[in-house]
Each structure stands twice: as C-alpha cells, then as structure tokens.
Structure 1
Amino acid sequence: MLGFLIVLLSSVFFCFHNVIVRVLFNEHAILGLFQTGGFVTPTLQNSFLLMFMRMLLVVPLMASLVPKLYPATWQDIKQLGNIEQRTLLLQSLGCGVLMFLYLAMIYISIGLIPTGIALTLFFTYPVFTALFSWRWFGNRPTLFRWSVMGLVLLGSFLTMPYSDTAANNQTLIGIITGIASGVVYALYTVVAQKSFETLHPFPFTWISFVTTLGLSAASLVIWNVQDTQLIWIPLWIGALLSAIATFAGHLLNNFGIRLIGATSASMIGASNPALTVILAWLTIQETLQGLQVVGVVIVTLSVALLSREHSLYK
C-alpha cells in the first residue's frame, strides 16, 4: 500500500510541475483567490529559457542528494569514460538530447492548449514505444495491445479542441507539439530501457538532466532572449517550484518502483492525464468539454491496460 501511495504522490508532483508551466505561460486565477501568470509567451525560445532555469536548479540538487541514495553514482559515471563503455555513454547523452527535445515541445504544448489536453496527447507515447520496440527489438504487439493502442489514439482524438483549431493556428501548434513530444519521449524510453540493462537509473537520469541543461544554455546563447521586460522574480520562483516538483517526482517514483515494481508504477503513472485535469481544475479553474473529459478517461484507462498487459505477457 505504501508503494502505491508513494508512486501516486510522485504523479501528483509531476502534474504540479505541468500546472506551474501553464501558469508561467498564461494568466490564471490561483485557487480562485488572485490572478497571476502569463510572464512569458509560449514560444520555443521561452521554452528553452524555462527549461534552462529549471535544470539549473535540478542538476545541483540531484548532484547533492542522489549519491546518498545510490553511493556508486559518481563511480558509474566515471566508468563511462572507458572505451568499452563508449556505446553506453553515447546512449546516455543521446537520451539527454531526446529529453531536451520532448521537454521543449511539451512546454510549448502546455502553453498553447489546456494542460490536461497537452498531457493526454503526450500520453500517446506508449503507442509509439510499442512500435519502436517492434521495429528495433522484434517485440511484436499482441492483438490485445493493438486494440488498446487504438483506444489510446481514439481518446487522444476526442480530446483535441477542434472548434478552435480552424480559427487558431496556435491551437494546432499545441496539438502537434503535444503529440510530437510523445513520439520523442517514446524514443527516450526505448533507449533508456536498453541503457538500464547496464547502468543504474540515478546516474543515467542525472546525465540526461546535465545534457538538457547544456543544450538549453547553448540554445539561449544562439537564440538570445530579446525581451528585456521579463519579470525575473516570479520566473525564478516558478523555476524553483518546478525543480522541487521534478526532483521529488523522480525520487518518489524510483522509491515506488523498488517497492511495487516498474509495471505497477507505470500503471499508476498512467493516471497523470486525469490527475493533471483534476489538479488544473482545482488550482487554476481550467475546465474541459464533456467529450474531452471522456477522451482523457479513455487514454488514462488504455495506458493502464497496456501496462497491465505488459506485466502479464513479459
């Protein structure tokens, strides 16, 4: 029971991070008490900025605490410099590049369309993970998995805000980046799964975060932020809250996996779209249409079924 509660709490932290990003991009009434937010526009450039600020806080936080949880962290990272570990090093750095890409796209999506819809579109990633695993590892999906994957796509189709798409190109961009972030994350999970055979998740995740920090910093140097009117104090407060939520989410999720296993943890993690909708409704009064809520429920249950099917047939 404790393991399930820990993983559920990790999902709440991840959802809280998504709501923070939404508020940084768009003004909302917080708990119905006061208006705040909309400090930056949801552009690729500003996504790099928020990502850099978040990682600038997360990376040292992980560097100080992760070795206490996994003492061999620095030893494992040092060994990646050996010639025989070169492939593993490239896989770890490659996952950092993929993390950078999917975070940039999901940030844009959250900024342009409701948070719950963006996360639901992102959670189409198990469909693409199954396809990539089939292509590279020969793991052909079962008939059951094909059926559930179809339900995931159906649920995502129902969540899309079609009434706004024709009149608003930003909504279309939000939909495209939401799905694209799921595709890139699917690639990330496939490569990470291969890497976890020889590298512990803690040093692997830290390398991914450091790579993301470096790429976001490089992006800001190449594409300099021109808006001199940015209000930095609320941006840094948001970055700090985002960093804490990110670190706590990863930490609790890893603890939960140790207690109940990766499959059960992934089934609980499938509740993220629904939890995001609930949390966004409670904190910033963000609501969805009835059909969109049905789509979120379909995707949530379908992803949970995919995880359950994996536990039965692995």
Structure 2
Amino acid sequence: MNNELKVPVIIPLTIGIIAISFSSIFVKWSEAPVSVQGMYRLLFTLLLMLPFVWKQFQLLKKISFKDAALLLLSGTFLALHFLFWMGSLKLTTVASSTILLSLQPVFVMIGAFIVFKEQTSKAAIIGMLIAITGAIMIGWGDIGISAQHIKGDLLSILGTVVVAVHMLIGQKLLKSIPATLYSFTVFLSAVIVFFVYNAFLNIPMTGYPGKEWGIFLLLAIIPTVFGHVLFNWLLKYVTAATISMAILGEPVGASLLAYLLIGETLTVTQVIGGAIVLTGLYYFLQNTRKQKRNKPPAPIKKPVTVVPIVKKG
C-alpha cells in the first residue's frame, strides 16, 4: 500500500478547514433541534457517498467482530460530538464554541500516547501550545460571561473530548479498512444513534420547512463531505494529532464567517489570537513532517535478525 500523499498536505488540510468553518454558521441559521440537524446531516452525507462506496460493501464480510464493535463505538462518539458541540452553539458564540473545540489536540495527543505510544517532538509540542494560546485568545472576551455561556462552554468541551476518542478509534481502524467505507459505516452508526435518541425523547423528525432541509443538505455537503470525510481520508497519511492540530484553523475561519454572515463582532484580541493560531499550526505541521522524515524506517533492521534464525534449519 502506498502511504505517500500525492499533493502537499497543506492543500487538503486548507480545504477541510474552510469547509468545517461553515458548520457553525449553518447550525446557527437552523431552528431545528440539534439532534435532528445532526441526523439529517449525516443521512444526506450517506446518500451522497453511496455511489462511491457501494462496491466496497463486500469488504464488510471480512471485518472482525471487534472492528465492527469499534465502528459502532466510533459512530456513537461522533453522534455525541455533534450533539454536544452543535448544542453549545445554541448557548454561546461561534468564537467561544469553536475555540474550546480547538483544544482537541490536547486530548488526542494524550490518548495517542497512552493507546498507540505515539511520540511527539518537543518542537511540535511548542507549536501546539502556541496555537492553543492563540485559540484561547480568540474567544477570551466571550467565554463565561453568563450562566448560559458557561453551559455552552461545557458542552463544547464535552464535544471536544468525545471527538478526540472518535478520531483515535479511526486512526486504528483505518489501518485495515478503506477510508470511504470507514466513513460510511461510522456515519450510519451515528445516524442510528441519533434516530434512537430522537425517538426516545419524542423529538419530531419530520414537518420542517424547506429552509431547514436546505440547511441539512448544506451541512452534509460542505462541512461533512469536504470536512470530516476529507479528514478521515487524510488519517491514512498523517496522524490524528496532526488532523486535530489543523482543525485549530476552524476558529479563525468560523469567527470571520460569523462576523460577516451573522453579525458576531471580532475584537482586536481575537484577530491577534487568530494570527497566533495559524503561526502555531504552521510550526507544528512543519516539525511533525521533519520528525517523520528523520525517523528511520523500522523494517530495515528486521531481516538482519530474522534471516540467521530462518537459515538455521
């Protein structure tokens, strides 16, 4: 399998960042319950993906029970992420919600070290800390200004934790499952979780005006297909921590869009913070690439120790 990306990684990362930056705007525009938004967002995404993934369905027969359980678990955590984070947008500003979501690399890096023993260079950690500092500055003026904002902040933090778990599970599963098939099965699992949630709480799943259906479709096409699906595909080539770090660009794009489209103001502190985020992001990605380039390939030494043992008989 060729794990070498054919284009510079910054290109798909930039497309993904711009796409997911629109997510919070669409959520703000919608008046439907967030669980309904999340369900139809992923359902429409499944329909869009179907022509590209149906030929891979035969591979589902080869998936072990353990991997199937992990796929369901990953989908459950993705549904929880949408439920918590999209819910936070109803209670706090776009800047505050996306800022706290951008702390995701902290949880991913800790989880990757515990689960995969994944090492991160000191330079990359410095870049991450710089970016997180800038991210905090972006929403500093809005965070915790009222009880409602505090509740929204807490929901965003919960959404950050569960999406970090979702990404770490994905990093493991994508070693043996094609990216498109992984995304499809995980989204399907999340849709089922949302359906059960809505049915259990008697949340209406039909009867919404045309405007809402248009928003559901936009949520599927822009931030999901060109955002989350793209990032899932990129996990084949870069680590979950790198994807999480790239998503730090979302607060910058989302805050700018919120200013232009829904009238949420930006302070000087938020503008400076955005510049710091991008600086830290660039520094992190550069040092992550250098770390991979300088790391000697593990299999080189293996034949040296194995060959004498094989020839012994």
- Contact in 2 for aligned 1:155/1:296 (Cα 8 Å): yes
- Give me the identity figure in percent: 21
Query: 1:36: which partner in 2?
Result: none
Specify the alignment match of 1:102 in structure 2.
81
Shift of the 66–116 alpha-carbon distance from structure 1 to 2, 3 Å rule, reads farther
Aligned position for 2:156 = 178
- 1:285 alignment counterpart: 263
What do the CA deviations read for 1:153-183 (whole angstroms, capped 9, x no partner)?
A: 43343234556724x2111122122222222
The match for 1:199 is 177
Question: 2:302 maps to which residue?
Answer: none
Query: Deviation at 1:249?
Result: 3.5
Which residues in structure 2 correspond to 1:90-239 (within 5 Å)? 90-161=69-140, 165-166=144-145, 168-225=146-203, 231-239=208-216
Corresponding residue pairs, total = 283
Tell me the distance in 2 between the aligned counterparts of 1:120 and 1:269.
10
Cα distance between partner residues in 1 of 2:232 and 2:80:
23
Matched, 1:312 2:298: no
Shift of 1:305: 2.9
Partner secondary structure for residue 112 of structure 1: coil
- Could you tell me which amino acid in structure 1 is paired with residue 150 of structure 2? L
Task: Supply the RMSD in Å over aligned alpha carbons.
Answer: 3.1
1:268, distance to aligned residue in structure 2 (A): 5.7
Which residue number in structure 1 is paired with residue 53 of structure 2?
A: 66
CA distance in 2, matches of 1:171, 1:48: 20
| Higher gyration radius (CA) | 2
**Which secondary structure does the structure 2 equivalent of 1:197 belong to?**
coil
Counterpart code for 1:199: I
Task: Identify the residue that residue 296 of structure 1 maps to in structure 2.
Answer: 274
Provide Cα deviations, 1:45-71, integer angstroms capped at 9, x if missing partner: x2211111212212222122334xxx4
Q: CA deviation at 1:235?
A: 1.5
CA–CA distance in structure 2, aligned partners of residues 149 and 238 of structure 1: 33
Matched, 1:20 2:7: no
Confirm or deny: 8 A CA contact 1:157 1:295 kept in the other structure. Answer: yes
Residue 76 (structure 1) aligns with: 59
Contact 1:122–1:182, Cα closer than 8 Å, also in 2: yes
Gaps of 5+ in 1: 25-38, 41-45
TM-superposition CA deviations, 1:11-48 (whole Å, max 9, x none): 32222232111221xxxxxxxxxxxxxx24xxxxx221
Deviation at 1:284, TM superposition (A): 2.5
Counterpart of 1:274?
252
Q: TM-score, normalised by structure 2?
A: 0.78
Show the counterpart of 2:307. Answer: none
Kindly provide the CA deviation profile for residues 210-234 of structure 1, in whole angstroms up to 9, marking residues without a partner as x.
Answer: 0110000000111112799x85322
